[in-house]
Chain A
Amino acid sequence: MEQPIRVLVAKPGLDGHDRGAKVVAAALRDAGMEVIYGGLHQTPEAIVQMAVQEDVDAVGLSILSGAHMTLFPKVKEHLNRAGAESILLTGGGIISAGDMDKLEKLGVGQLFGPGSRLADLVDYIEKEVARRRTATRSA
């Protein structure tokens, strides 16, 4: 039997509202995933610590503050340092195509800008986690 995908959804940084993150969390749950909701104002260190203890397949970050160019790389760096580079890092926010490219080069997964559909995010996580699970199994 296929095991449920486990995802940590969190909102790093200082901006106040977590509606976006909650909507994403609910959509992933409705798609059959186990969503660990990490809440607001999390530091990159805290996010990675949670991801490690929960042994998640993916981390989804909602960043609306415009700080994505510092926060995504920091989380990625801490994931690598913790030996958890196989965890998919994805998310969304107000992010330009150029920034998305730069982040992808750092090993961050696909990101979803304004106007993207939740169904695309769900799809992406399902496919990418399946791919990574097969890759580690045959390693």
Chain B
Amino acid sequence: MTELASLDEQELVVRLRRGDQRACARLMTWAERNDPRFAVQHRAFCDELGVAQRIGITGPPGAGKSTLVEGLASHWRESDDRKIGVVAVDPTSPFTGGALLGDRVRMSRLVLDPGVFIRSMATRGVFGGLARATDDLADVLDLFGCHSIMVETVGVGQSEVDIARSCDLTLVVLHPGGGDTIQAMKAGLMEVADIYVVNKADMPGVDRLVQELFDVLELREIPEDQQPPILTAVASTGQGVPELAEAIDGMVRDRRDSGRQAERRQDNLERRIRRLVDGRLRHEVWQARGLSDLLHQRLAEGGKLSAYELADEVLDQYQQAAGHPANLLGNISQTDPEDSP
């Protein structure tokens, strides 16, 4: 076989379409590295995307997310032979830049199945439970012909809810040993669930957790037919997995037919574009124009400085260097903080 490095980008995508896993993996690497070749290819294949259903899987550390991904994938492989893609995200250490990506350990049953493609990725400095290029990797799996793509987020605390904005449907996985899970959920996780999975139903405390969930949901006063269903499972034995798979498929079908899926995808696309623009502006300001250096220089001069004063100074410099109209800068500082990665 030829070395990938010697292939041009079109050839890589041709190979990917033929089912070459190495080509698929390399295109993902380009996306992760922000290699301009990825953006070029993305423009070319983007009208083929959107075939796969994208399922987000989130929940506290150790809840059984990876085990559940393995269970769902095995189930779908057996029931209708559909091709499965998995993206598993784990945190990058802010101190060393390194990461331990350990989700595969719970998915070892899937490794030798040619109909399953699993990719681990590190957050590389992004908060919110996903990495910058998670959507790109899911796109590559979509192009690769996967029918169902599961994205496992980092084990969340409370505010990592980006997943809901990048998939068609979000599972929130909880387990009875999770401590004050419900408490944490009131702070955000609550809003993103399309389906709740109470996992480790073989452990004590399941009934109580389900009851607590019902109570919290009741407080939200959502119409009955829009309440996210609560399912129980034992991911490690597969108990409850077929029912969960069916609930997911059913919900995907309903939303596709009702147009809700299209609406949600449109919202997700808008946020993704905003994130891309934010990221490029940030790069433009700090790196491309060398304003990081300017800031360090000013800080090194010492003295008491107002943060606002320095921020104005940086933006003034940017404006001069870029020759942009003032209102552009107004927009930058007004960027919705929620949308920034």
Interface residues of A (CB under 8 A from B): 3-4, 25-26, 28-39, 42-43, 45-46, 49-50, 52-55, 82-86, 136-137, 139
Contact = CB atoms under 8 A, between A and B. Distances in A.
B99 interface: yes
Given A53-B117, A84-B22, A36 B101 contact: yes
A42 B92 CA distance: 25
B6 interface: yes
Contacts of A43: 112
Given A34-B122, A39-B104, A83-B3, A53 B98 contact: no
B275 to A, nearest CB: 19
5 contacts: A4-B98, A29-B100, A53-B21, A55-B25, A137-B5
A139 B104 contact: no
Contacts, number: 93
Contacts of A82: 1, 22
Interface in B85-115: 92-93, 96-102, 104-105, 108, 111-112
Contacts of B119: 53-54
B118 interface: yes
A29 B102 CA distance: 12
B268 interface: no
Contact of B3 (A37, A39, A46, A86): A86
A46 B108 contact: yes
B96 A37 contact: no
Contacts of A34: 92, 98-99, 101, 122
B1 A37 contact: no
Interface in B64-91: none
A50 B1 contact: no
Contact of B6 (A3, A52, A85, A139): A139
B94 to A, nearest CB: 12
